[in-house]
Structure formats: structure tokens, C-alpha cells
């Protein structure tokens, strides 16, 4: 069963990797992107969820969905701003630092000390990210994008813990609550949104809504709920080299030896983790 969720996590991360390219290319700002994506996601899930399921939810369940949605909304706003300020690969590598947050959060919340092999794999991945980071300068948008991305990473790290506490609610219903309550977060910034968009912008927003929201985040919700925190953090690191490749191809983002070596280390950490889990399962 875990291999199924691991595969779903990999698919989700691939979609996460290509998402920043569309976010960067579309002329809509962060608030408009979020509103459109969440309207599509909420409407889609509402059509496939029986209203009877929603009526059976207790007040405690609705409270859990509210927390999930608020965390997700905070993560998305900060992530979109990070992409707009920096570059797709820089933004996603900043969010990839959520693995560090998950280590101490899992220790504090669940009392589970990290396993040495997991720490080594995370350390290798983080060193790879360090090689990709450009010169740190507080006076430019690139640095601002990194800092906002780190804030986004914290919200993203807390989310799986709240998801697990509410895993008795089926995944589709949780996804619906996640999108619906996150939409409320974005709607508070409606006055800051922009709607003077081209046909291409609307096509990109459609892709972001259907493929990168309904598809990717629903799969990630399931995977991050059922897999261990260390596993989800390692899987997520794969999004960085994917974003780098797509940014290089479609946005002509500069690639140098440090970035390539860093990406290789990130992938190696994930391969090591996957091999270790298969070996452990076979024994």
C-alpha cells in the first residue's frame, strides 16, 4: 500500500516541478492565480463529492478542514509571491526546506527522533540545494523570493501533521475542504487581484487549475497523509531539478555547474531513500 502512495507522491511532485513555469509566465498576479485555481479545484471536487458526506461531518471535522484550508492558503500565497519575485527553480528549492521543519516538528509533535539514514539523505539533499542558491543579497527580488519561500515552507511542513489528525475524513472531502477554505484566504485579497488577461493567460490558468491543482495537490494530500514525514520531504526535493529543467527549457533560466551538481545530489538522496525502503520491505 505504501508503494502506491509513494508513486502518487512522485507524480504530484513532477506536476509541482512544472507548475512554477506557468505561474511565472502568466501575467496574473499571485492573488488572481490562487483565486482561479481554487475556484476550479473547489468546483470540481464539489461535483464528485456527495453532499451527504458533507452533512455527516461533525463540528470537529469542519474545524479540522478549516485549519487545513488556512494553512494551505497561507502556503500558496507565499509560494506564488516567491515565484513571481525570484525564479521557478529558486522558489521551489526554498519551499523544499520544509523537510527541515518537518524533522523538528515530528520530534516535537510526535516525539519521534529522526533516523540517522534519513538525516544523512536530507543532509545530502540540503547540500545540493545550498549549491543551487545564488549569491545572497537582501537588496534584490531574488533574495526576497527566497525568504518568502522559506516562510511558505513552514506552512507546508505543518500541513501534513494536521492532515494526519483528520485522516478519518476521506481524501476527496479533505481536498475539498482544503481548497474551499484556502479560497476564503485568497478572497480577502480580491481587491489586489488583476483580471486584464490574455487568451494565453487563461489557458495557463486552466492548466494550473485542472492539472496542477486538482491533479497534483489531491495526489500529494493522499501521499503526505499516509507516508512518513521524512519520506514526503525527500520526495518533494525531486521538484527542484524538475523545475530547473523546465525553467531552462521554457524560460531560458541560467544553468551552471553548481546548479547541476546540486540537482544531482538532490536526486541521489531520493534514490537512496527509495532503495532503502525497498530493501527494508524485502526483509
Q: What is the pLDDT of residues 38-53, one digit of tens each?
A: 999 999 888 888 777 8
Q: How far apart are CA 189 and CA 186, in angstroms?
A: 5
| pLDDT reported for residue 243 | 84
Predicted confidence band of residue 32 (pLDDT cuts 50, 70, 90): very high
Q: Which of 34, 28, 62, 61 is nearest to 182 (CA)?
A: 34
Residue given cell 543579497 in the structure block = 137
Tell me which of 11-25, 109-123, 132-146, 187-201 is least confident. Answer: 132-146
- Mean pLDDT, residues 218-233 taken together: 79
The structure's pTM equals 0.81
Q: C-alpha cell of 168? A: 478519518
Q: How far apart are CA 153 and CA 158, in angstroms?
A: 9
- Mean pLDDT, residues 188-203 taken together: 95
Is the model more confident about 90 or about 188?
Answer: 188
Amino acid at each position: 500500500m505504501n508503494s502506491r502512495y509513494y508513486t502518487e507522491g512522485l507524480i504530484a511532485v513532477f506536476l509541482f516541478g512544472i507548475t512554477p513555469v506557468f505561474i511565472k509566465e502568466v501575467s496574473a498576479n499571485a492573488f488572481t492565480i490562487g483565486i482561479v485555481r481554487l475556484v476550479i479545484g473547489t468546483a470540481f471536487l464539489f461535483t464528485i463529492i456527495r453532499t451527504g458526506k458533507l452533512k455527516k461531518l461533525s463540528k470537529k471535522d469542519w474545524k479540522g478542514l478549516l485549519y487545513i484550508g488556512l494553512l494551505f492558503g497561507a502556503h500558496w500565497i507565499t509560494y506564488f509571491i516567491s515565484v513571481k519575485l525570484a525564479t521557478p527553480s529558486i522558489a521551489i528549492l526554498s519551499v523544499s526546506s520544509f523537510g527541515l521543519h518537518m524533522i523538528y516538528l515530528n520530534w516535537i509533535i510526535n516525539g519521534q527522533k529522526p533516523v540517522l539514514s534519513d538525516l544523512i539523505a536530507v543532509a545530502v539533499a540540503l547540500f545540493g540545494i545550498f549549491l543551487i542558491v545564488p549569491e545572497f543579497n537582501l537588496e534584490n527580488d531574488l533574495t526576497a523570493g527566497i525568504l518568502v519561500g522559506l516562510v511558505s515552507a513552514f506552512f507546508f511542513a505543518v500541513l501534513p501533521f494536521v492532515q494526519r489528525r483528520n485522516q478519518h475524513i476521506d481524501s476527496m472531502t479533505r481536498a475539498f475542504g482544503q481548497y474551499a477554505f484556502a479560497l476564503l484566504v485568497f478572497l480577502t485579497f480580491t481587491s489586489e487581484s488583476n483580471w486584464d488577461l490574455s487568451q494565453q493567460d487563461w489557458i495557463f490558468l486552466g492548466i494550473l487549475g485542472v492539472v496542477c491543482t486538482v491533479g497534483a495537490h489531491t495526489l500529494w494530500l493522499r501521499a503526505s497523509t499516509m507516508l512518513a514525514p521524512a519520506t514526503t520531504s525527500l520526495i518533494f526535493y525531486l521538484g527542484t531539478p524538475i523545475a530547473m529543467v523546465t525553467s531552462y527549457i521554457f524560460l531560458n533560466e541560467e544553468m551552471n555547474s553548481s546548479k547541476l551538481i546540486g540537482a544531482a545530489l538532490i536526486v541521489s538522496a531520493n534514490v537512496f531513500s527509495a532503495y532503502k525502503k525497498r530493501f527494508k520491505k524485502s526483509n
